[in-house]
Structure formats: C-alpha cells, structure tokens
Amino acid sequence: MKKYCLLVMYALLSNMIMAQCTPDLSIVYNGVYPKTLPNGIEGELYSQVMQFKIPKDTMSLTVDSLYILSVAGGPATMNIQCNKPGCGYKGNTIGCALLTCNVPAASAGNYSIDVTVKVKLKSGIPLVPPVYQTFTNSLDLTIDQAVGVKDLWALWKNGRMQVTPNPFNESTTLKCISLKKQTATLNVYDMTGQLKMQQNLELTAGLNQSLLNTQQLTAGVYILQLVIDGKTFHTKIVRAD
C-alpha cells in the first residue's frame, strides 16, 4: 500500500512539473532556441518557452541522455517546467521547457541565465562504463523598466509599434499597443514587395512585446507590416550580417 501511494504521488508530481509547451519538430540544428530571450518587464510575470534539440553524439561518444539540473542567474528565482518528467531527454530528440519568473520591481537590467545540464555519454565499446559530464549554457535576458503613461503615449505617437534592436541578427522584439485582446497579423516584405515572413501575434489590451524569430531572413532591408485593430502600420527593419 505504501509503495502504491508513493507511485501515485510521483505521478502527480510529474504532471505538475510538465510544461504546457509543444516541441518544435522543425528544428534542424542542435542547440537552444531562442539564443536571446525576449525582454521582460520589471514588476510583471515573465514567461517564455525554450526549445532545444539534443545532439545524437559527440566526436567519439553517443549521447545516451540529458537532464536539465538547474536554471539560475535571473532577476529572481527562475522556474523551469519541462515537457518531460524530471527534465530528462534521450539523445537526438527535441524538447521544450517553460521558463517563468516573478520579476521584482526596480530590477531593470541585463542578466545571464545559466542553464546547467548533465549528459550521459556512451562509447559503444563493451565493458566501457558511461561518462557523465556537466555543461552550462548561457542565455541573455533584458528586463525593461515598467512602462508609464508617458511611455505609452510616446509609443502611440510613434505609430503604435517599435522594433528593438534594429538592426538585428537572429531575432528582435516588437513592441506594440493593442486596444483589445485580439490576434494581429505581422508580415515582412523585402524591397521588391515579396512576402518573406508571416506571423500571428496573440495580443492583450495595452502594451505587448513579441519575439520575432527572423532566422529565415537574409541580411538586408525589409518592410514590417502590422495589421491591428483593423488598421495597417509599417516600419523599416534591417537584418544585419
């Protein structure tokens, strides 16, 4: 009876720590995405899905499994909820995790989020024991100051949207104002008018920040179009080398 109760408790705990995220099976290259986390705002809840692909092997060893041990370095305790119980993954698989943090007031600044993992490596040679190694991967996170009425008004006069940074590399953040909860459409065109990128944005009333994954864009100048509240807004963006 005691063993049965322990199994039930373990099952409940496993369900509690599993994230409500779906692995992006289109990821081709090993690594963690996005490389740079979208900005957060002081005094608000930070929430971001992290996608990753576990390598199949190293130069001479096969990756048997990988476990995420900890996430540290944010403005406050950073919680991680994986889509697998215990944050454990087999080699050559794709997973995801939800990062959340209650950002304190007056905590604006730049942070390095350190994700520590433990990897089990096998050589494939009989009787050779597995090798365990620990690695730490760092992700950049910027916490912005809370936006006041003056800041909202400035953004409104600036066309209700702003892209930062601009120019950018693999990703950038779009800030925009929505009058209500809605789905907005974002289109990116090259200078010949060809559609190069399209993304739906789930917005709430007020200020919104959305990470734009621009890896599919080559270096150059583009026109970003945002369709929101039945109106269309444009701004010029630049993808750097």
Question: What pLDDT score was predicted for residue 58?
Answer: 85
Q: Residue 161 is encoded by which pair of tokens? A: 């949207």
What band does 12 get if pLDDT is binned at 50, 70 and 90?
very low
Domain borders along the chain are: 20-144, 149-239
pLDDT at 6 over 60: no
CATH of domain 20-144: 2.60.40.2910
Residue length of the chain = 241
What band does 96 get if pLDDT is binned at 50, 70 and 90?
very high
pLDDT at 139 over 60: yes
Given a contact cutoff of 8 angstroms between Cβ atoms, the answer to whether 189 and 223 are in contact is yes
Q: How high does pLDDT run on average in the chain? A: 83
Question: What pLDDT score was predicted for residue 91?
Answer: 95
pLDDT at 64 over 80: yes
Question: What pLDDT score was predicted for residue 153?
Answer: 55
Measured distance CA(182)–CA(187) in Å, rounded? 16
CATH of domain 149-239: 2.60.40.1930
Question: What pLDDT score was predicted for residue 16?
Answer: 38
Helix residue ranges, H only, the chain:
2-17, 149-157
Does the fold of domain 149-239 match that of domain 20-144?
A: yes
Given a contact cutoff of 8 angstroms between Cβ atoms, the answer to whether 224 and 186 are in contact is yes
For 118-133, how does the pLDDT look when each residue is reduced to its tens digit (9 = 90+)? Answer: 999 998 888 889 999 9
Given a contact cutoff of 8 angstroms between Cβ atoms, the answer to whether 97 and 34 are in contact is no
pTM above 0.75, yes or no: no
What band does 62 get if pLDDT is binned at 50, 70 and 90?
very high
Question: What pLDDT score was predicted for residue 207?
Answer: 80
